[in-house]
């Protein structure tokens, strides 16, 4: 059989792209130097795939920042405000990704959202009424040519028009159907050019099909693809889906003139029955996603072979592929020399998954030794059970998930306890992770400084951070999270049951990467995690300092979970550990505790019918479990970022936190209408500026945002804060931004007092 992958990671095995792009942002290297690094990384990837023996190699899966933005840029879907800056193409591209503030003007970045159910984030395409969609870019052609010149005949990949529309925003009066003719013409021009260059195939990604589809959605899909597939210019077209099954569109997809369809047989619960029951056309090739593109566990070959045999029973021509792009896993376990082999033999990152694809092919061809070797991994138990924790989870009662007294009674108690001004100001927790902060940790990890010196540096940072917040007049302070590498990895490191890697980076957005910890065993807490830093910060001020924790659902969703234990059970184990930390903080005098659930939405099933039965029914209780035992006077905050909350707003209110902060500014505060309509009870801090951009919001701008919030949410329920932690920012932009935030709040407070 033929082997392939949907896409490969692009940040570089040691984050070379991240560092080069950041240098470009700082004007430390030129566009040409950046292009050279990028080209080298692409060549390395093609070489790796080729050396592994992968038959069909993709191109076009590389991006400086994001593939959705690349596709929109290729097709001239660039809002006028960026064009008006008159920047060089690469700078215009980055201006859309990060906002721009400089001599050419001042514009915010495009909205950024979670890419389906992953921790990757894409830039939302804006379809303005005056969008002039046409092929203007050359990226996909250049990369195809570059590969070809290097001796690789690749399959260029592109995000499809339907997913571009479904993940996009329509800012004017026009709707999706108004853009269909131009999109068809633009994609057809892409086909024509690739065919002219000598490409055989194109992969067109349409993951939006794995969500629930209405009849109107399917009609839109047909209106795009019927004309497009009638004008292939001799190119063969692979319609690629991932992250689920295509139960609503399967019959349509198989009836259209695709030459191949890529289906996900892992997350797609219905994929195999669909193929078996409805049949698969003999004239099409089935790209079978059987190697998991999201997990880091070695595949159980016998299971895969059984699955492949069933697939082959229903489809005449099968290519073995990954369930999604390998973008979501780290490069290679070769970069983890410190990890004991007793763990490593169970792991497969991107490069090792290439080997798995090729080995499956060899097993299919009769290599039974490989099968037997692999089977040994799955015959012995790999985990040691922690009986105490499993019993604790098993004995949880209904009452463990409910906090008393009621929200309203707690709000009364807390109002008296804290006596905060109207529109209290706060931040989300982290302050800039400056070069010095990261260097201090790097030195400590390398053994160049002692634990005492490491801690003392962080204490000095905390002190300066507390003093700064007091000086500018923030009402509820934070300690700054200087001691944390990442909000999940840090907790993983302190809890029992996790494994860590040194270089297993995965892109989260643009230049930002994460190193998800691996849940290896039962999770438990055997030491305080955050108490020392919080207590120290609180000792420096009379104002309340928020304790800062990551919630159980987020720890689970941003780790690589076990596959032998349900996500619910794993999350409850983590919840009990975080509950112990909450109570420890409370016991040590911390009166406000924020439990971040930034990733709550991440594992929400893509199909609405599964939301409660498969996820929210345990994810929301897991959060409640964490704070159910605190006193009425302890104020529990939570925080979420980068999500669309409108459709799960009731579930969020049901978390029963006292206060929630969330991202809103980059989505134009549209969530406020939902909060207003649904009488959201939890007090809210809709982020008043976007921290993912280096832009400094003016005081005026923030005042305007606060007034919009005040117009829609009861005054007593509102908090004022940025929309996420400040760790990715420098002090240069953070200091003026926070000064503007506090000044703007004071100004609006004055106006309100005058009005009253
Ligand atoms: C809030 N978000 C988070 C998400 N997921 C997470 N797991 N964590 C999050 O905070 N998802 C949604 C959002 C947005 N996503 C992100 C993701 C990543 C970042 C971010 O800031 N990442 C940092 C890496 C953070 C980290 O692990 N730092 C380590 C290592 C630092 C480092 O690179 N050290 C250098 C040496 C430095 C020196 O010597 O000077 C090295 O290793 O080479 C640490 O601090 O110890 C990133 O840089 O990408 C933000 C939002
Ligand atoms: N407390 C974290 C939340 C980020 S989502 C921070 O401030 O970085
Ligand atoms: Zn956040």
Q: How confident is the model over 580-602, as pLDDT tens digits?
A: 999 999 999 999 999 999 999 99
CA–CA gap between residue 47 and residue 35 (Å, rounded):
18
Q: Is 600 in the pocket of ligand 2 (CB under 6 A)?
A: no
Q: At 28, list the tokens.
A: 């430390």
CA–CA gap between residue 494 and residue 580 (Å, rounded):
13
Q: Which residues sit opposite 388 in a β-bridge?
A: none
**Neighbour-count burial of 218, counting CB atoms closer than 10 A to its CB (0-12 exposed, 13-18 middle, 19+ buried):** middle
Q: Which residue among 121, 479, 692, 740 is the active-site one?
A: 692
Distances in whole angstroms, Cα of residue 421 to Cα of each of 177, 181, 241, 711, 738:
49, 55, 51, 18, 17
Q: Kindly report the protein residue whose alpha carbon is nearest to atom 1 of ligand 2.
A: 429
Q: pLDDT averaged over the chain? A: 96
Residue 584, C-beta contacts closer than 8 angstroms, at least 6 positions apart: 528, 531
- pLDDT, tens digit (0-9, with 9 covering 90-100), for 547-579: 999 999 999 999 999 999 999 999 999 999 999
Task: Please compute, for residue 160, the number of CA atoms within 13 A of its CA located in the half-sphere on the CB side.
Answer: 25
Please report, rounded to a whole number, the percentage of residues in the chain having pLDDT higher than 70: 99
Q: How far is the CA of 440 from the centre of ligand 3 (A)?
A: 24
Residue 597, helix vs strand vs coil: coil
Q: Is 112 in the pocket of ligand 1 (CB under 6 A)?
A: no
Closest ligand 2 atom number to CA of residue 550: 1
Q: Are strands 518-524 and 496-499 parallel, antiparallel or unpaired?
A: antiparallel
ipTM of the complex as predicted: 0.98
Amino acid 643: pLDDT: 64
What element of type H or E holds 177?
Answer: helix 176-197
> Phi/psi class of residue 549: alpha, beta or left (left: φ > 0; alpha: ψ in -120 to 50)?
beta
Q: At 47, list the tokens.
A: 């070489």
Q: Are strands 126-127 and 683-686 parallel, antiparallel or unpaired?
A: unpaired
Q: What is the torsional sign of CA 325, 329, 330, 334?
A: negative
Q: What is the torsional sign of CA 424, 429, 435, 440?
A: positive
CA–CA gap between residue 75 and residue 165 (Å, rounded):
13
Amino acid 644: pLDDT: 75
Residue 3, helix vs strand vs coil: strand
Confidence check: pLDDT of 237 > 90: yes
The arithmetic mean of pLDDT across residues 225-231, rounded, is 98
- pLDDT, tens digit (0-9, with 9 covering 90-100), for 100-148: 999 999 999 999 999 999 999 999 999 999 999 999 999 999 999 999 9
Amino acid 152: pLDDT: 98
Q: Is 663 in the pocket of ligand 2 (CB under 6 A)?
A: no
Amino acid 733: pLDDT: 97
Q: How far is the CA of 722 from the centre of ligand 3 (A)?
A: 9
Q: Where are the domains of the chain?
A: 387-395+404-755
Confidence check: pLDDT of 756 > 60: no
CA–CA gap between residue 192 and residue 155 (Å, rounded):
14
Residue 683, helix vs strand vs coil: strand
Ligand nearest to the backbone CA of 442: 1
Torsion of the alpha carbons at 52, 56, 60 and 63, rounded to the nearest 10: -30
Q: Are 602 and 567 in contact (CB under 8 A)?
A: no
DSSP secondary structure, 114-181, as one string:
E-TTSS-EEEPPEE-TT--------HHHHHHHHHHHTT---EEEEE-HHHHHHTSEE-SS--HHHHHH
pTM above the 0.90 mark? yes
Confidence check: pLDDT of 697 > 90: yes
- pLDDT, tens digit (0-9, with 9 covering 90-100), for 78-101: 999 999 999 999 999 999 999 999
The arithmetic mean of pLDDT across residues 682-700, rounded, is 94
Establish whether 26 is an annotated binding residue: no
Q: Is 430 in the pocket of ligand 2 (CB under 6 A)?
A: yes
The arithmetic mean of pLDDT across residues 681-695, rounded, is 94
Establish whether 44 is an annotated binding residue: no
Residue 305, helix vs strand vs coil: helix
The residue to mutate among 485, 486, 548, 560, having the most atoms of ligand 1 within 8 angstroms of its beta carbon, is 486
Q: What is the torsional sign of CA 501, 502, 506, 508?
A: positive
Q: At 73, list the tokens.
A: 């840029």
Establish whether 654 is an annotated binding residue: yes
Give 262-266's long-range contacts (Cβ < 8 A, gap of 24+).
262/6, 262/203, 262/238, 262/287, 262/289, 262/321, 263/287, 263/288, 263/289, 264/210, 264/289, 264/323, 264/324, 265/289, 265/290, 265/307, 265/311, 265/323, 266/290, 266/292, 266/323
Task: Please compute, for residue 126, the number of CA atoms within 13 A of its CA located in the half-sphere on the CB side.
Answer: 20
- pLDDT, tens digit (0-9, with 9 covering 90-100), for 604-621: 999 999 999 999 999 999
Q: Is 598 in the pocket of ligand 2 (CB under 6 A)?
A: yes
Q: Are 595 and 551 in contact (CB under 8 A)?
A: yes
Q: Are strands 683-686 and 659-662 parallel, antiparallel or unpaired?
A: parallel
> Phi/psi class of residue 198: alpha, beta or left (left: φ > 0; alpha: ψ in -120 to 50)?
left
What element of type H or E holds 179?
Answer: helix 176-197
Which backbone phi and psi does 480 adopt, to 5 degrees?
105, -10
Domain 387-395+404-755: which CATH number of 3.20.20.10, 3.40.30.10, 3.20.20.210, 3.40.47.10: 3.20.20.210
Q: Which residue has the higher pLDDT, 385 or 63?
A: 63
Does 692 qualify as catalytic in the annotation? yes
Neighbours of 477 (CB within 10 A): 24
Neighbours of 528 (CB within 10 A): 15
Q: Are 195 and 241 in contact (CB under 8 A)?
A: no
**Neighbour-count burial of 64, counting CB atoms closer than 10 A to its CB (0-12 exposed, 13-18 middle, 19+ buried):** buried
DSSP conformational letter for 232: -
Please report, rounded to a whole number, the percentage of residues in the chain having pLDDT higher than 90: 95
Amino acid 670: pLDDT: 77
Query: Is the peptide bond between 336 and the residue preceding it cis, with omega within 30 degrees of 0?
Result: no
């Amino acid at each position: 059989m033929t082997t392939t992958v949907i896409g490969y990671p692009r940040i570089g095995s040691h984050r070379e792209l991240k560092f080069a792009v950041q240098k470009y942002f700082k004007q430390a290297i030129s566009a040409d130097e950046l292009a050279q690094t990028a080209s080298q990384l692409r060549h390395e990837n093609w070489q790796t795939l080729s050396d592994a023996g992968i038959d069909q190699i993709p191109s076009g899966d590389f991006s400086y920042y994001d593939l959705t933005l690349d596709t929109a840029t290729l097709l001239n879907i660039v809002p006028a405000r960026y064009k008006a800056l008159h920047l060089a193409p690469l700078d215009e591209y980055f201006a859309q990704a990060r906002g721009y503030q400089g001599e050419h003007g001042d514009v915010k970045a495009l909205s950024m959202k979670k890419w389906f159910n992953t921790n990757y984030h894409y830039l939302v395409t804006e379809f303005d009424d005056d969008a002039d969609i046409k092929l203007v870019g050359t990226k996909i052609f250049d990369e195809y040519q570059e590969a070809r010149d290097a001796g690789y005949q690749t399959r260029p990949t592109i995000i499809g028009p339907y997913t571009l529309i479904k993940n996009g925003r329509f800012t004017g009066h026009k709707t999706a159907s108004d853009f269909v003719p131009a999109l068809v013409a633009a994609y057809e021009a892409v086909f024509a050019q690739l065919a002219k260059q000598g490409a055989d195939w194109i992969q067109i990604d349409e993951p939006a099909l794995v969500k629930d589809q209405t009849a109107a959605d399917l009609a839109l899909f047909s209106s795009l693809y019927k004309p497009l597939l009638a004008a292939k210019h001799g190119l063969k077209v692979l319609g690629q889906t991932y992250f689920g099954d295509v139960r609503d569109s399967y019959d349509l997809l198989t009836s259209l003139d695709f030459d191949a369809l890529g289906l996900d047989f892992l997350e797609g619960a219905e994929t195999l029955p669909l193929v078996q029951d409805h049949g698969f056309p003999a004239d099409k090739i089935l790209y079978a996603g059987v190697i998991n593109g999201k997990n880091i566990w070695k595949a159980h070959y016998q299971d895969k072979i059984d699955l492949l045999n069933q697939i082959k029973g229903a489809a005449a021509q099968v290519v073995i592929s990954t369930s999604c792009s390998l973008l979501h896993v780290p490069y290679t376990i070769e970069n983890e020399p410190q990890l004991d082999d007793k763990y490593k033999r169970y792991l497969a990152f991107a490069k090792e998954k290439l080997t798995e694809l090729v080995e499956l092919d060899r097993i299919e061809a009769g290599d039974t030794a490989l099968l037997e070797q692999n089977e040994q991994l799955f015959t012995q138990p790999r985990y040691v059970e922690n009986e105490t924790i499993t019993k604790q989870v098993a004995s949880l009662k209904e009452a463990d998930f409910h906090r008393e007294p009621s929200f309203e009674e707690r709000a009364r108690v807390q109002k008296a306890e804290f006596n905060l001004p109207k529109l209290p100001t706060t931040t989300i927790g982290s302050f800039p992770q400056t070069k010095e902060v990261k260097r201090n940790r790097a030195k400590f990890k390398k053994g160049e400084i002692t634990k005492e010196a490491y801690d003392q540096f962080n204490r000095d940072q905390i002190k300066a951070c507390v003093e700064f917040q007091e000086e500018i007049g923030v009402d509820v302070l934070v300690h700054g999270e200087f001691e944390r590498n990442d909000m999940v990895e840090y907790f993983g490191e302190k809890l029992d049951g996790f494994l860590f890697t040194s270089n297993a980076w995965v892109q989260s957005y643009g230049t930002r990467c994460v190193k998800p910890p691996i849940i290896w065993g039962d999770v438990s807490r055997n030491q305080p995690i955050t108490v020392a830093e919080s207590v120290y910060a609180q000792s420096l001020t009379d104002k309340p300092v928020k304790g800062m924790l990551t919630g159980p659902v987020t720890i689970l969703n941003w780790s690589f979970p076990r596959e032998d234990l349900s996500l619910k059970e794993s999350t409850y184990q983590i919840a009990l550990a975080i509950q112990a930390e909450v109570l420890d903080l409370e016991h040590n005098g911390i009166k406000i505790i924020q439990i971040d659930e930034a990733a709550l939405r991440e594992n929400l099933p893509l199909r609405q019918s599964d939301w409660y039965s498969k996820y929210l029914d345990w994810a929301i209780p897991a959060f409640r479990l964490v704070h159910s035992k605190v006193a009425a006077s302890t104020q529990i905050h939570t925080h979420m970022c980068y999500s669309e909350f409108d459709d799960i707003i009731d579930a969020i209110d049901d978390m029963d936190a006292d206060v929630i902060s969330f991202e809103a500014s980059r989505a134009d505060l549209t969530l406020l209408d939902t909060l207003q309509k649904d009488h959201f009870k939890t007090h809210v801090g809709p982020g008043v500026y976007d921290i993912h951009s280096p832009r400094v919001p003016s005081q005026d701008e923030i005042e305007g945002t606060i007034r919009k919030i005040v117009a829609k949410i009861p005054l007593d329920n509102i908090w004022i804060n940025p929309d996420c932690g400040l760790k990715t920012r420098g002090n240069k932009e953070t200091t003026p931004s926070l000064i503007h935030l506090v000044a703007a709040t004071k100004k609006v407070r004055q106006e309100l007092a005058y009005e009253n």
